[in-house]
Amino acid sequence: MKHIDVIIVGGGPIGIACGLEAKKKGLDYCIIEKGTITNSLYNYPINMQFFSSSEKLEIDNIPFISNEAKPKRNEALEYYRRIVTSNDLNINLFEKVSSVSKKEDTFYVKTDKEEYTALYIIIATGFYDLPNTIDVPGENLQKVSHYYKDPHFFAKQKLAVIGASNSAVDAALECYRKGAEVTMLVRGPEIGRRVKYWVKPDIENRIEEGNIKAFYNVTIKEILPNKINIETLDGEFSIENDYVLALTGYKPNFDFLKKIGIKLSDDQKLYPQYNEDTMETNIENLYLAGVICGGMDTHVWFIENSRIHAKTIFKSITKK
């Protein structure tokens, strides 16, 4: 069993920021990531463009130079990968943490490869691994996906996009422009208000001119191999369909947090309990960092405003 002073669970941008702080403080640390470096970013759509400008995605004041004001996925992967490699951060990739428990002042961490003890734990696991399911018959069909990668696959296909957020709108526009017959199925009365301001007019104009069909106030009744049954304010009917992108958002791994013993709010938001001044949870010496701090409100914390978590946490740890 290996002993490490600080174990950081999650190798995304905020986990990397924590690793940089640990190294600067001269602490024995390790980042444990179940996938590749910035695994969630790697699994984003190939052409994804950030809402934030490049300087707001910087960590540890390391300049992020991009071709446009708002960088794209491939530029972010290059930026964060270079930080890891050029700083020789101690990161274990493709290693999944299965459990974290505490006995007296020591944490015991099990992964699918190793067992560790640690004095401090930082959870920076994000939220992109567990999609919000729509819980209807047919959701498990092979034609249905909760993740979108590349529009080329959907050329000449009848594609239904469920959702009205940035991910759904980007997928609808890209797939339409690659030759898909796109229908958007929106559970609310309109396209999401938080859609990127330079994209929102584009999708609204494509819908208005009829190049992308859209139904609002939709309830999905059933997904079948060649159609979808839906209900709107006008009644129930079927839509011919080849593929479904159910882009209805994602959520943190609450089961993992509860298993560790982190308290969650007793409502639908499931906010984890932590001290905002230190990021320490109800479990002494166990900290949270990044988007996971927002519970189901995954739009509250993101790279831009949670970069500070790393410095806040290590200020607390070094005091101890």
Q: Residue 283 and residue 101: Cα distance in Å, rounded?
A: 10
pLDDT tens for each residue of 205-262? 999 999 999 999 999 999 999 999 999 999 999 999 999 999 999 999 999 999 999 9
In terms of Cα–Cα distance, which of 180, 185, 168 is closest to 239? 185
Report residue 10's pLDDT band, with 50, 70 and 90 as the boundaries. very high
Residue 21: per-residue pLDDT: 98
What percentage of the chain exceeds 90 in pLDDT? 94
Residue 128: per-residue pLDDT: 87
Q: Residue 242 and residue 70: Cα distance in Å, rounded?
A: 33
Which tokens hold the place of 77? 């992967």
CB neighbour class for 294 (10 Å; exposed up to 12, middle 13-18, buried from 19): buried
User: What is Dmax (Cα atoms) for the chain?
Assistant: 65
Determine the average pLDDT of the residues in 114-119: 98
- Distances in Å between the Cα of 121 and the Cα atoms of 165, 178, 300 are 33, 45, 23
Asked whether residue 127 carries a pLDDT value surpassing 90, the answer given is: no
Asked whether residue 76 carries a pLDDT value surpassing 90, the answer given is: yes
Residue 298: per-residue pLDDT: 86
Provide the phi-psi class of 78: left if phi over 0, else alpha when psi is between -120 and 50, else beta.
alpha
What percentage of the chain exceeds 70 in pLDDT? 100
Asked whether residue 51 carries a pLDDT value surpassing 90, the answer given is: no
CA angle 139–145–149, rounded 5-degree value: 175
Handedness of CA 220, 222, 228, 230 (dihedral sign): negative
Determine the average pLDDT of the residues in 161-188: 97
Q: Residue 7 and residue 26: Cα distance in Å, rounded?
A: 14
Asked whether residue 299 carries a pLDDT value surpassing 90, the answer given is: no
Residue 246: per-residue pLDDT: 97
Residue 181: per-residue pLDDT: 98
pLDDT tens for each residue of 57-70? 999 999 999 999 89
In terms of Cα–Cα distance, which of 274, 291, 296 is closest to 283? 274
In terms of Cα–Cα distance, which of 61, 60, 80, 57 is closest to 69? 57
In terms of Cα–Cα distance, which of 188, 190, 180, 237 is closest to 211? 180
Determine the average pLDDT of the residues in 157-174: 96
Determine the average pLDDT of the residues in 140-157: 97
User: Mean pLDDT, the chain, as a whole number?
Assistant: 96
Q: Residue 98 and residue 125: Cα distance in Å, rounded?
A: 13
Residue 236: per-residue pLDDT: 96
Residue 178: per-residue pLDDT: 98
Residue 104: per-residue pLDDT: 94
Q: How many CA atoms lie within 13 A of 91 on its CB side?
A: 29
Long-range contacts of 271-279 (CB under 8 A, 24+ apart): 271/295, 271/297, 277/312, 278/312, 278/313, 278/315, 278/316, 279/309, 279/312, 279/313, 279/316
**Those residues with Cβ within 8 angstroms of residue 310's Cβ, 6 or more apart along the chain or in another chain:** 14, 17, 18, 20, 21, 59, 60, 289
Q: Residue 229 and residue 223: Cα distance in Å, rounded?
A: 6
Residue 188: per-residue pLDDT: 95
Asked whether residue 289 carries a pLDDT value surpassing 90, the answer given is: yes
Q: Residue 262 and residue 264: Cα distance in Å, rounded?
A: 7
Q: Residue 264 and residue 269: Cα distance in Å, rounded?
A: 9
